[in-house]
Amino acid sequence: MGPDGLPQVSLIRRGVERWQAGHPWIYRADLNGDPALQGGEVVRVTDARGWFLGKAFYSKHSKISLRWLSYEDVAVDTDFFRQRLALADAMRRRALPGETTYRVVHGEADLLPGLVVDRYGDCLSVQFLIPGTEQRKQLLVDLLVELYKPRAIINRSDVGVRALEGLPQEKGVLYGTQPGPVAYDEGLVRVRADLLEGQKTGAFLDQRENHIMASQYAFGEALDCFSYVGGFALQLATRAQKVTAVEISDQAAAQLRENAASNKLTNVDVVVANAFDFLRDSVDEGRRFDTIVLDPPSFAKNKDAIEGALRGYKEINLRAIQLLRPGGYLISASCTYHIDEQAFEDMLASAAADAKRRVQIIEKRGAGKDHPVLLNLRETRYLKCFVLRVL
Ligand code: SAH
C-alpha cells in the first residue's frame, strides 16, 4: 500500500528503463514479483527502492501489466478523467475546427489507455479495452454526457483484444436509446452508419480526411474496393463520372446504396463481391478505370501473418495498377500496423515493376489528426494511405 492508499507495484531495472524510454506500457516480466491484485486497479508504481515513477492501470490477465496514466503524483479521480477528456477534446477542436465527427479519445495516444471514444455528431460510440476502463465505465459515461450532452452513447466493446484482458465481448446502449443509423457530414456528403450493428465503432473515422482528399483526385471511371458504407465511394462520386463500389458484406452494401441515394448520387453502382475476385476478373475482361481506391481490412493481426498479408496487398495493388489508364490515380491504404510505411512502399514498388508501369508517389498520408500518433508507441502509427499516379 502506498502513502495515498493505492496498491503499490515495483519494477525491476528493465521496467524502469522502459519507463525512462517513454514507452506507455510495462510487461509482466518487468514487475518486481506478482502483485496480489484483481486487475483494473489504479496502482502507484515505484522502482525497486520505492522511488515514485507514476500511476498506472493494472491488468492481471494481459502480458501488458501496467499502462501509465500519470507520471506525476496526482490523484486519479473523477476530475483527473474529466481533465484528460477535456485535453483530448481541445486538440480536436483546434485541429478540426467546426467538426462534430471525430475520434475524441485514441487510447494511449491521449493518455487514456484502454479507451476509445468516437463522436458522430450527437452520438458517441465507445470501446473499453482493459479492466481499468471497463470498471470505470459509468464514471466515463457520466463525464462524456457532461461534456457532449449526446443523444446516445453506444458501447462497442465487442473486440477480440478484450479476450487478452480476460474480458468478454460486449455491445449495447449505455446512454439514451438505440439511435439506428446515425448521420454525419463528410465533406460535401452525408453518411449514415449504424453505430451498434456496423463495423468497428460504426465507421472508419481514421480515413475521414483521406476520404475528402480522394474527391480531389477522382475523375472518369472510378472503382472503390472494400467500400463499407461508402467513405471513399461517395466522395469519388462527387467528381467521377461513374463509381463501382465493391463490398463483400450485404449489410454494408445496403447502407452504401442508401447513402448514395440520399445524397442524390445516381452514379454509384454497388457490387456485392469479393474484391480479390472482382479485380482479377476485371483484368481478365480488359476493363479500365481512371481512379481506384483500395482500403482493405487488416490482413495481418500478428507478426507471423506478415508474409501472407504482403502477398495479399501485392495482388490487389498489382491488379489495380494494371487496371488504370495512363494518368490514373491509385489511392492505396493499409491499416496493418505490422507492415510499416517502408514495407508498404516496397510492396507497391514491386507491384509497379511486375505491372511494368511507372508510378509516381503524389502523397503519403496516415490517419486523420484526431488519431494522433504517440511517439514511442509504434502501434499508434498503423494507417498508411498513398496517393499514386500511374503513367
Ligand atoms: N473503405 C471503407 C472502410 C473499409 S473497411 C471506408 O473508408 O469507410 C474494410 C471493408 O472491406 C469492410 O466493409 C469489409 O466488409 C470489407 N471486406 C472484407 N473483405 C472483403 C473482400 N474480400 N472483398 C470485398 N470487401 C471485403
Closest ligand 1 atom to 293 CA: 1
| CA atoms 281, 284, 285, 287: torsion sign | positive
Specify the residue for cell string 495493388.
317
Return d(Cα 241, Cα 170) in angstroms, integer: 42
Closest ligand 1 atom to 207 CA: 7
Nearest CA to ligand 1 atom 13: 228
Q: How far is the CA of 96 from the centre of ligand 1 (A)?
A: 26
List 123, 225, 335, 385, catalytic entry: 335
Instruction: Identify the pLDDT of residue 116.
Output: 98
Quote the cell numbers at residue 101: 465527427
* Cα within 13 Å of Cα(212), Cβ side: 13
Q: Give the three-class secondary structure for 288.
A: coil
Q: Distance of CA 45 to CAs 49, 94, 258, Å? A: 11, 34, 52
Ligand 1, CB cutoff 6 Å, lining residues: 199, 203-204, 207, 226-228, 231-232, 246-249, 252, 274-276, 295-297
Q: How far is the CA of 295 from the centre of ligand 1 (A)?
A: 7
Return d(Cα 167, Cα 272) in angstroms, integer: 34
Beta bridge pairs of residue 292: 223, 330
Alpha-carbon torsion, ordered 58, 60, 61, 67, to 10 deg: 10
Instruction: Identify the pLDDT of residue 183.
Output: 97
Active site residue 335: yes
Nearest CA to ligand 1 atom 3: 228
Closest ligand 1 atom to 203 CA: 8
CB 186 within 8 A of CB 212: yes
Return d(Cα 289, Cα 282) in angstroms, integer: 10
Please write the tens of the pLDDT for every residue from 264-320.
999 999 999 999 999 999 999 999 999 999 999 999 888 899 999 999 999 999 999
Examine the pLDDT at 1 and tell me if it is beyond 90: no
Specify the residue for cell string 495516444.
109
pLDDT band, residue 234 (cuts 50/70/90): very high
Return d(Cα 32, Cα 46) in angstroms, integer: 10
Nearest CA to ligand 1 atom 20: 248
| DSSP H or E stretch at residue 33 | none
Instruction: Identify the pLDDT of residue 210.
Output: 98
Nearest CA to ligand 1 atom 7: 231
What is the mean pLDDT of the segment spanning 114-132? 98
**For a pocket test of ligand 1, which of 248, 270, 294 has the largest count of ligand atoms closer than 8 A to its C-beta?**
248
pTM over 0.75: yes
Closest ligand 1 atom to 211 CA: 7
Nearest CA to ligand 1 atom 22: 274
Quote the cell numbers at residue 250: 450485404
